[in-house]
Amino acid sequence: MMKKFLLSCLIALGIGSNAQYVYTGDFEDPGYNINTYKQFGNGTRTTAAACNGTNGGQLAINATVTQSGYMIDLSTIGQTGNGQKIDVSVGYKKAANITGTISLAYFVYNAASNQWSVNTFGPSVVLPSTAANTCTTLSATIPSGIIQPGQIYGIGAWFVRSGATTGNIYVDDISINQEIVTTAPGCATIVNPADGSAISAGNLNLAWNTVPTAVNYKVAIGTSPGSSNIYNATVTGTNANITLAPNTTYYASVVPANLNGDATGCSEISFTTNSLIAYCGSITSNAVTYPISSVSLNGVTNTSAATTGAPAYEDFTATVMNVYQGLTHQLAVTGTGLGTNRFGMTAFVDWNNDGDFNDANEQYFTSAPLIGGAGAAVNLAGNITVPAGATLGNKRMRIKYNFNSSTTALGDPLANPCANVTNGQVEDYTLSVLTPPSAPVCTTVTLPVAGAADFPANGIITWAAAEFAAGYKVYIGTTPGGTEFANGTVVNGTSYQPGLVPNTTYYLKVVPYNNLGDAPGCTEISFTTVGVVYCGPLTYSTVEPTTNVTFAGINNTTSATLNGTPAHEFFLDKVGTVLTNTTYPISLNANTDGASFRHYFAVFIDWNQDGDFDDAGEKYFTTPASFIFVLGSDGVTGTPATGSIIVPQDAKLGQTRMRIKSAFYASGGPATDPNLSNFANACVTTGSTFGQIEDYTIQVNTATTGTSNVDKAKVVVYPNPFTDVLNISDVKGVKSVSISDVAGRQVKNMKAAAQLNLSDLKTGLYIVTLHMEDGSVNSIKVIKK
């Protein structure tokens, strides 16, 4: 049984003097801490759970927590493992009513996803509804090579509820005793393929017997005796999937190893491939199979049983689905779900028929995980693009469906086309690659409509899909037939966001194409842009308001009344002035509606003025390391959250939008997905029902010492430094002058004049901004003595 659970604690690898795990987790003091005794789901340490001593671990099973466990985190006990077998025992008892199955388990930490996978081992015990007030010991052994040196593991017990009852399971005395081995292992025997045999090309599942004290195995395959030019790797299990060419002789060796050294005198085998192609398999599951029940691609649908317990692998290669060179087809998969658990899908196609799925463009939905959940049926859909150079004929497609709690990282059952599954299923199909029957016909632009005069400069152009189109070429110019903005820009989907200039008339043409050519005779439309449009207004179910924003000359205090203001407030008349490549402090406050509650703040500034907050450097305080929050604030007297905003050197000059998001989260904050991704998205409030959004205007200037940054103006201010009077060399075209301090606060606003009397300013550094008649600004850094 394997499930993955997020754990917010930090993990540190414990280093000890002995290469052996020997530990008993008795839940007693001294020694008990939540960094070592980690609990999944719902429960705590309690006296009722003790088998010996005073305390044990309670697993509180209820309607939402139907499985849970306790473990000892081996990375926190000051010891290192040697990779050898580990004898494990755990004492357990239970309260009345609750039923289910208890097992020993080892837990594997994945640093990339901050998750633990749960792997049960040894005998499982079915617990009836009657209370068990006396502890029973559950014992088993983890074989050598499972717990690898240098990685992070936990060992303990795991309980899965049956039925709908609730109650407590108790565990105590988690005993861990690893074997000490002082000699290198013996040799292994390769069991597949046989020495001297002829086998299919493509995938080879090289397999060998388990050597009792081996921690891993050094595997080499080459095309000459003793060589490793085809494969050279250290493997932790007893098999490896390797791709072989047809009609070739190979030589293979497997050398077991442990911390004492490598096996010596191990023999090598040879074998020859024929012209047939094989694929990795058979794929198995170590848990209940949640199956794929429907697969649809390009008009062909295959249905199969939706009930759990189906085979982990099903061969549907007799089902052929036609696809076209260079074209994109939607793959839709339905799988059996479980409650709110997330399941994911990946797909693999062997376009070059070499027996593996490891070549360029052969893996789909592995870099951007395709995850769904919540319900008895999980519907997943994504696009499969056939490479334009794919050869005609039949290709193998593999679809994998498996439990995957993370929305950003894939576990090995989904990421690896050859890996076994856990709570999932694998199905293979045949794709028949064909040439498109014809060039596509023209499409119709759906947005903007022809002649529109209100298309946002940051708007998204959309059009209807054209049959047999491999993609679309987009042409945009400011004159009929013009292409200076986009000259045949290739787009694979049916939308394109070009980023246009406001208040400009454009001419647009979208031309579908495929391997046979472009659609002929496509028409052009014209439209006119307005300014950029930002997402919003956004909503929160309960408005717990932001009450003060202080930044770059803005000091805006607003109502602290709960639900007394809109969820999204617009203060675009309040302008903060900043300089490029300069750091500014920011202070934020909110009403948290309770002494123990926190509000976390995210700040977004559209530095490139493209109408979104998604570009590099436009998000602040949106990662766990940079979180800022207020705790127990009434929004008036509470201590504000503070931080720093660095204005990028390349920030576009002029006015832009700043957005402040304030939201309630628990003490750890929105530190894990999906909350982390949603918190860093300026256009959603998903993940918290309590908070508020506020928008402001930011004026971006640039500063130089002594001379203008706009060469064409040739304006000089002098002397610099100055005492009381500052001279402007040429006031032609200057409408007004404003003076700001280095914090961005405006201290003076004056009519343009050749001489500016600034005698009332204190000594220090100031920014003189010349507001030109043409609407541009010219900022100059000056020093008053």
414-437: pLDDT as tens digits? 999 999 999 999 999 999 999 999
Cβ-based neighbour number of residue 682 at 10 Å = 26
Cα separation, 283 vs 426, whole angstroms: 8
* Pairing mode of beta strands 546-551, 517-518: unpaired
CA dihedral 235, 237, 239, 243 (to 10 degrees): -40
Q: Phi and psi dihedrals of 209, rounded to 5? A: -80, 160
Query: Over 336-398, what HEC string results?
Result: ECCCCCEEEEEEEECCCCCCCCCCCCCEECCCCCEEEECCCEEEEEEEEECCCCCCCEEEEEE
Whether residue 429 contacts residue 302, with contact meaning beta carbons closer than 8 Å, is answered with: yes
Mean of the per-residue pLDDT values of the chain: 91
Does residue 161 carry a pLDDT above 70? yes
What are 476's strand-pairing partners?
486, 508
Enter the pTM of the model. 0.60
Q: How confident is the model at residue 60 (pLDDT cuts 50, 70, 90)?
A: very high
Residue 543 is predicted with a pLDDT of: 97
Cα separation, 554 vs 20, whole angstroms: 60
DSSP string of 440-501, one letter each residue: PPPP-EEESPTT-S-EETT--EEE---TT-SEEEEEEESSTT--SSEEEEEESSSEE---PP
Every domain of the chain and the residues it spans: 4-178, 190-278, 292-434, 445-530, 542-698, 703-784
Does residue 48 carry a pLDDT above 50? yes
Q: What is the mean pLDDT of residues 222-239?
A: 96
Residue 393 is predicted with a pLDDT of: 96
**pLDDT-wise least confident of 4-18, 60-74, 686-700, 726-740:** 4-18
Does residue 713 carry a pLDDT above 60? no
User: Is residue 331 classed as helix, strand or coil in its secondary structure?
Assistant: strand
Burial bucket for residue 212 (CB in 10 Å: 0-12, 13-18, 19+): middle
Q: How confident is the model at residue 781 (pLDDT cuts 50, 70, 90)?
A: confident
Nearest to 758 by CA among 783, 779, 732, 781: 783
Q: What is the mean pLDDT of residues 156-184?
A: 96
Cα separation, 130 vs 94, whole angstroms: 8
Cα separation, 104 vs 81, whole angstroms: 19
Task: State the amino acid at position 113 in one-letter form.
Answer: S
Domain 542-698 has CATH 2.60.40: no
CATH number of 292-434, picked from 3.90.1150.10, 3.40.50.720, 1.10.3720.10, 2.60.40.2950? 2.60.40.2950
Residue 720 is predicted with a pLDDT of: 81
Asked if the domains at 445-530 and 542-698 fall in one CATH topology, the answer is no
Does residue 730 carry a pLDDT above 90? no
Does residue 489 carry a pLDDT above 50? yes
Residue 36 Cα to chain centre, angstroms: 27
CATH number of 445-530: 2.60.40.10
Q: How confident is the model at residue 723 (pLDDT cuts 50, 70, 90)?
A: confident
Residue 83 is predicted with a pLDDT of: 96
Does residue 504 carry a pLDDT above 80? yes
Name the DSSP letter for residue 411: -
Whether residue 696 contacts residue 552, with contact meaning beta carbons closer than 8 Å, is answered with: no
Cα separation, 657 vs 651, whole angstroms: 12
Nearest to 77 by CA among 118, 130, 133, 18: 18
Cα separation, 162 vs 160, whole angstroms: 7
272-315: pLDDT as tens digits? 999 999 999 889 987 889 999 999 999 999 999 999 988 999 99
Cα separation, 694 vs 183, whole angstroms: 67
Task: State the amino acid at position 587 in one-letter form.
Answer: S
Tokens standing for residue 274:
């024929």
Residue 19 is predicted with a pLDDT of: 86
Tokens standing for residue 663:
């939201």
Q: What is the mean pLDDT of residues 54-74?
A: 94
DSSP string of 202-218, one letter each residue: EEEEEEEPPPTT-SEEE
DSSP string of 709-754, one letter each residue: S-TTT--BEESSSBSSEEEES--TTEEEEEEEETTS-EEEEEE--S
For the CA atoms of the chain, what is the radius of gyration? Answer: 33
Nearest to 726 by CA among 737, 713, 741: 737
Percent of the chain with pLDDT over 70: 96
Residue 58 is predicted with a pLDDT of: 97
Tokens standing for residue 45:
């340490």
Whether residue 295 contacts residue 301, with contact meaning beta carbons closer than 8 Å, is answered with: yes
Cα separation, 337 vs 322, whole angstroms: 29
Residue 749 is predicted with a pLDDT of: 84
Cα separation, 693 vs 682, whole angstroms: 9
Does residue 14 carry a pLDDT above 60? no
Higher-pLDDT residue of 13, 685? 685
Whether residue 366 contacts residue 346, with contact meaning beta carbons closer than 8 Å, is answered with: yes
**pLDDT-wise least confident of 131-145, 221-235, 725-739:** 725-739
Sequence length of the chain is 785
* Pairing mode of beta strands 690-701, 654-665: antiparallel
What are 664's strand-pairing partners?
599
- Per-position b or e across 455-465, b if 16+ CB within 10 A of its CB: bbbbbebebee
User: Is residue 22 classed as helix, strand or coil in its secondary structure?
Assistant: strand
Name the region of 685 (left: φ>0; alpha: ψ -120 to 50; beta: rest): alpha
Superfamily of domain 190-278: Immunoglobulins (2.60.40.10)
Residue 11 is predicted with a pLDDT of: 29
Residue 721 is predicted with a pLDDT of: 84
Task: State the amino acid at position 780 in one-letter form.
Answer: I
Tokens standing for residue 680:
């860093």
Q: How confident is the model at residue 703 (pLDDT cuts 50, 70, 90)?
A: low
Does residue 635 carry a pLDDT above 90? yes
DSSP string of 678-698, one letter each residue: HHT-TT--TT-SEEEEEEEEE
* Largest Cα span, the chain: 98
Q: How confident is the model at residue 717 (pLDDT cuts 50, 70, 90)?
A: confident
The secondary structure of the chain in percent helix, strand, coil, rounded to multiples of 5, reads 0, 50, 50
Q: How confident is the model at residue 253 (pLDDT cuts 50, 70, 90)?
A: very high
Tokens standing for residue 440:
């596509």
Residue 10 is predicted with a pLDDT of: 29
Residue 18 is predicted with a pLDDT of: 52
**pLDDT-wise least confident of 67-71, 141-145, 284-288, 561-565:** 284-288
Cis preceding-peptide flag for 149 (omega within 30 of 0): no
Q: Which fold has domain 703-784?
A: Immunoglobulin-like (2.60.40)
Cα atoms in the 13 Å half-sphere on the side-chain side of 664? 19
Percent of the chain with pLDDT over 90: 79
DSSP string of 515-545, one letter each residue: TTEEPSS---EEEEEE----------SEE--
Q: How confident is the model at residue 743 (pLDDT cuts 50, 70, 90)?
A: low
Residue 782 is predicted with a pLDDT of: 83
Residue 742 is predicted with a pLDDT of: 63
Nearest to 429 by CA among 344, 329, 307, 515: 329
Q: What is the mean pLDDT of residues 699-728?
A: 68
CATH number of 4-178, picked from 1.10.760.10, 2.40.50.1070, 2.60.120.260, 2.40.50.140? 2.60.120.260
Cα separation, 106 vs 118, whole angstroms: 6
Residue 8 is predicted with a pLDDT of: 32
Does residue 384 carry a pLDDT above 50? yes
Residue 708 is predicted with a pLDDT of: 36
Q: Dihedral sign, CA of 568, 572, 578, 584?
A: negative
Cα separation, 378 vs 573, whole angstroms: 47
Q: Phi and psi dihedrals of 565, rounded to 5? A: -135, 165
463-473: pLDDT as tens digits? 999 999 999 99
